[in-house]
Amino acid sequence: MKFYNALQMDPSILKGKIAACSTRQEKTYYWTAIAVRSALIVAFAIVFISVLSGVFGADNTPLAVALFCMMLGIRFVNFQYHIGDSLVTLAAVLAILVFVPSIAAVLPPVFLILLHFAAFFAVLFMTTQRPEMGNGGLYSFAYIYLTGNPVAGEALVRRGLLALVGYLICGAILFAKHRHQHKTTRFRQVVRESELSAPIFLWQLRMALGVSLVLTAGQAFGVQRFMWMGFACASLLSEYPYRGNAFPRFWQRIVGAVAGCCGFFIFYLVMPEALHPLMGPLGGLCLGFCTDYRYKTAMNCFGALMLATEIYGLTGAVMLRIVDTLLGVTFGLVFAAIFHQLVAIRFLPMPESE
């Protein structure tokens, strides 16, 4: 296998090849590919996000981060329908990501649940016809992250211009990589053939309703960094096919978050202050080696806590991350159980449960 081809593979696939290797040389080859892949992604992320933030303002860094993730994902996963329709829905998704968070920031709490549900369900429906490919997690991250970082006025204008740049980049990649696929499937056909009892529709409905409720609660009650609650809840609900028993992922999320927070706390104390800005990239670099959900959760804490520490201090940021995670996964666990029971009453047989 060419080294370039190895760089395109997911770490889980590369680790599978490592496990199948019979020689140390082969193992070293694939471990090197994992390391180089991770380093290149982090380096590209720093350059890409820094350039866009420099041009469109630091207050629009969250959209730059979301666009970077979308750009990586859209290379491999399309929307499962005609390229022309896909380009239209991509524009609609970006419009939602730009304007809905700003509207939600000024809307009375009583209207938030309807806004979040309609917007988030639309995003999932347009982008995630095959949840097992990971699009659901990608676009839910973007929606929640931007909801937690709204802008207004001139900054909103700059965010719109940044979204336009992002559309040109992601649209070009989508067209180049996927224009020959799903030529006979139109978006209107996807809408027409959707069934309430279909596993995909139920997954989209559960994700949209659960995340909308937790975001609404976080905003209405003024929870600090409420988007962390949203991330935790969405992570719990993003499994596909969904299960009535969400306890395994519930505990994995808690263990990963606590481990990541403790690791960040220790590293922050022992590392020289001049090296603190490197902790975010360090977490991203380590994330490139992770395939286990708990380890991914732990490494994701580093970048989030690095930013939050500047606002809340080290102890405050760590405690807030843990508390928000507990609130998010607890809400997700209860919501998943209730939703599963309602589905069991309405539709028989029930979706697979463990």
For the packed helices 61-74 and 83-106, what is the interaxial angle rounded to 10 degrees? 160
Distance between the two ends of the chain, CA-based, in angstroms? Answer: 39
Report the pLDDT value the prediction gives residue 353, as an integer from 0 to 100: 45
> In the Cβ-directed half-sphere of 350, how many Cα atoms lie within 13 Å?
15
* Res 349 pLDDT > 60: no
Cβ neighbors of 288 (< 8 A, separation 6 or more) are 11, 34, 35, 37, 38, 39, 41, 42
Q: How far is Cα 76 from Cα 301, in angstroms, rounded to an integer?
A: 26
* Res 351 pLDDT > 60: no
For the stretch 100-134, pLDDT in tens is 999 999 999 889 999 999 999 999 999 999 998 88
Q: What is the DSSP string of 182-199?
A: STT--HHHHHHH--TTSH
The encoded tokens of residue 302 equal 């580093």
* Res 354 pLDDT > 60: no
Residue 43 CB coordination number (10 Å): 13
CB 143 within 8 A of CB 120: yes
